[in-house]
Structure 1
Amino acid sequence: MIRLRSTAILGVLISSSAFAAERTITLAVQNMACDYCSSAVRKSLEAVPGVAKAIVSLNDKTAIVTYDDAKADVKALIGATTRAGYLSASRS
């Protein structure tokens, strides 16, 4: 009984995914002027480990990003768009 409980506790402690959550954030993205721009932003976000989906709107100048918060964070998302040449900030 003790061994089973110890194994279960150890499994939870080792597994960071036990505490992971899927998050969705809206980023306000600057300097997007064409379809190439929105595609570049989408690809930069999708390259971040943990990002499940990125929907970029050229008209609204936004990116809606769904990601695993155990693998990515807002700072990584903003860094990805910035490295692609498009400054962004959290809107939500």
Structure 2
Amino acid sequence: MKRTDIIVAGAFALGLAVMHPGGLLPTAAQAASVTSQDEKTTVFDIENITCALCPVTVKTAMEAVTGVATVDVNFDKKTATVTFDPSVANVETIGIASTNAGYPAKARD
């Protein structure tokens, strides 16, 4: 296949995806239906956060835990606020994920 044919086919496929009722990204209603009503939010104190890249690493490690919905890392406070489904994930597993990435995390009581 010629390069231009590949580009045209890709653009066409992308156009179809955008025109699909669901589009490429879920709508707010679709996202809400995926979110569990039994979610729990926990704040973790994070050690070793010293540079602007540290929060990215912590967030990536915590988000990799199955059941974690959102992670918000605050560089100044050295905390991570994590929302997760407790039927799938737990505080200990989330803390271990951050610790294994080099940033020991302890959940606040």
TM-score category by the smaller chain? Answer: 0.7 to 0.9
Moved over 3 A (4+): none
The answer to whether residue 87 in structure 2 is matched with residue 70 in structure 1 is yes
In the alignment, the residues of structure 1 paired with residue 38 and residue 91 of structure 2 have an alpha-carbon distance, to the nearest angstrom, of: 14
In the alignment, the residues of structure 1 paired with residue 52 and residue 68 of structure 2 have an alpha-carbon distance, to the nearest angstrom, of: 21
**Unaligned 5+ runs, structure 1:** 1-19
- Identity percentage of aligned residues: 37
The answer to whether residue 50 in structure 2 is matched with residue 33 in structure 1 is yes
Alignment: residue pair count = 73
Match of 2:70 among 43, 53, 66: 53
CA offsets 1:8-57 (integer angstroms, 9 cap, x no match): xxxxxxxxxxxx82000000000101111110000001100000000001
What is the aligned-residue RMSD (CA, Å)?
1.1
Q: Quick one: which amino acid aligns to residue 72 of structure 2?
A: I
Q: TM-score, normalised by structure 2?
A: 0.65
Structure label with greater radius of gyration: 2
In the alignment, the residues of structure 2 paired with residue 31 and residue 69 of structure 1 have an alpha-carbon distance, to the nearest angstrom, of: 27
Structure showing greater relative contact order (alpha-carbon pairs closer than 8 Å, 6 or more residues apart): 1
Q: TM-score, normalised by structure 1?
A: 0.76
